[in-house]
Amino acid sequence: MIFVVGESEAGQRLDMALAALADISRSQARRWIDEDRVRVNDRSCAASRRVGVGDSIEAQPPAPIPAKIAAEPIPLVILFEDEDLVVVDKPAGMVVHPAPGHPSGTLVHALLYHCGTLTSVGGVLRPGIVHRLDRGTSGVLVAAKSDLAHLGLARQFAAHSVERVYRALVRGVPKEDAGRVDRPIGRHARDRKRMSVHARSAREAHTAWRVTRRFVRSDRAWLEVRPETGRTHQIRVHLASVGLPIVGDPVYGRKGRAELESSLQRPALHAERLGFAHPRSGIRLCFDAPIPEDLAAILSALERREEMG
């Protein structure tokens, strides 16, 4: 879709101008911009950019996603399940819910097959989904089977009362045993698929970290990470911002990788623990997911290298 800005759109924000020209809602226009599907004069721009007469706006709408999601018999590792919720150990590489480019094979498709039904509070494309893990992140995730559970869990995530513990293998060896990053996160000004701590429009974000193992010979460290807020890519962005990029991260990590990590096909980030109050009973629950084989293998290799020294 290619449009040329006329006098009636001149001076408007990009999302407003695109909505008018493409006959779509402003929220949809902003979503396209955030997904880096829109160029102005062949350059990525923020939704707040003002357009001028003669500007060329090129948009690539996402492929349509079926309104009804079909259940798929995809194996799941179930850590807990009752009438209200289900807790799973999500493998790395699995997308949580349908999105452009991922119309099938997601966790939602697998949950619908396993559970039969999920709460619809999250919308037709995100049934049962209260929180997400990035595609490349493995570990504990809870989904809601009832509306009561969805609303109750959502309130806990909003209040930051959910315990979340991650493990991350990073490049660099911090001198400090622990630290925290308190830097707002928002969309990158030029690359809308990335997040940044230097964004013009950002939301507060807080991440605490602690070193549990140093691999000095390999310039690596194994961290326990506790995100206190839930921003997109938060852990990956925050650790990279303090010079501790996650090993294997193709977006926020450094280019090149060590031989030991050559087989790793995703960021070395694992959601190890999730704790919350059951939305019906109020009983505190806590679930742990073991370190997956790909990360365990790298850690073992790093240990051996340290012992050789």
- Domain with residue 138: its CATH number is 3.30.2350.10
Structure tokens at 50: 């003002």
Instruction: Note the pLDDT of residue 295.
Output: 97
Within this chain, do residues 228 and 194 fall inside the same structural domain, yes or no?
yes
Segment among 84-93, 110-119, 234-243 with least mean pLDDT: 110-119
- Give domain status of residue 193, yes or no: yes
pLDDT at position 223 over 80: yes
- Answer whether residue 285 is part of any domain: no
Q: Pick from 158, 176, 198: which residue ends a domain?
A: 158
Q: How far apart are CA 19 and CA 150, in angstroms?
A: 32
Report, as an integer, the average pLDDT of 281-286: 97
Residues 6+ apart with CB under 8 A from 141: 87, 88, 90, 96, 107, 131, 132, 133, 271, 274
- pLDDT in the model for residue 238: 98
Q: What is the DSSP letter of 232?
A: T
- In sequence order, which residues have a C-beta less than 8 Å from that of residue 169 and are 6 or more positions away? 220, 221, 222, 223, 246, 247, 248, 268, 295, 298, 299
**pLDDT value of residue 123:** 65
Residue 65's pLDDT band (cuts 50, 70, 90): low
Q: If you average pLDDT over each of 7-11, 110-114, 184-188, which comes out highest? A: 110-114
For residues 168 and 148, membership in a common domain is answered with: no
Judge whether 68 lies within some domain: no
**Model confidence at 63, in pLDDT bands (50, 70, 90)?**
low
Average pLDDT over residues 87-105: 92
26 within some domain? yes
Specify if 201 maps to a domain: yes
**Predicted local distance difference test score (pLDDT) of residue 58:** 93
Does residue 173 contact residue 220 with C-beta atoms inside 8 Å? yes
Q: Does residue 253 sit within a domain?
A: yes
End-of-domain residue from the set 158, 186, 205: 158
> Would you say 253 and 235 are in contact if contact means Cβ atoms under 8 Å apart?
no
pLDDT of residue 96: 95
Same domain, 87 and 135: yes
pLDDT at 309 (0 to 100): 64
Clarify whether 294 is annotated catalytic: no
The dihedral of CA 126, 129, 134, 136: what is its sign? negative
In a domain, 73, yes or no: no
Question: For the purposes of burial, counting CB atoms within 10 Å of the CB of 249, is it exposed (0-12), middle (13-18) or buried (19 or more)?
Answer: buried
Pair (184, 299) in one structural domain: yes
Q: Answer whether residue 38 shows pLDDT above 90.
A: yes
Claim to verify: residue 47 and residue 32 sit in the same structural domain? yes
Exactly one of 15, 89, 134, 249 is catalytic; name it.
134
65 in a domain, yes or no?
Answer: no
Q: Clarify whether residues 210 and 301 are in a common domain.
A: yes
Same domain for 189 and 153? no
153 with 201, same domain: the answer is no
Whether residue 14 is predicted with pLDDT greater than 90 in this model: the reply is: yes
| pLDDT surpasses 70 at 122 | no
Mean pLDDT for the chain overall: 91
Residues 188 and 144 reside in one and the same domain = no
Using alpha carbons, select from 243, 248, 135, 246 the residue that is nearest to residue 197: 243
Q: Which residues touch 81 (CB under 8 Å, ≥6 apart)?
A: 87, 115
Mean pLDDT (whole number) for 75-81: 97
Report the CATH number at residue 39: 3.10.290.10
How many structural domains comprise the chain?
3
pLDDT at position 273: 98
Record the pTM: 0.79
One domain, residues 184 and 298: yes
CA dist 270 and 257 (Å) reads: 19
Same domain, 118 and 213: no
**Domain of residue 215, residue span:** 163-277+291-308
User: Is residue 149 located within the same domain as residue 84?
Assistant: yes
Please, where are the H alpha helices in the chain? 14-22, 26-34, 107-115, 147-158, 234-241, 293-308
In DSSP terms, which residues pair with 209 in a beta bridge? Answer: 179, 225
Q: What is the pLDDT of residue 257?
A: 64
Domain end (from 158, 188, 215): 158
User: What's residue 64's pLDDT?
Assistant: 56
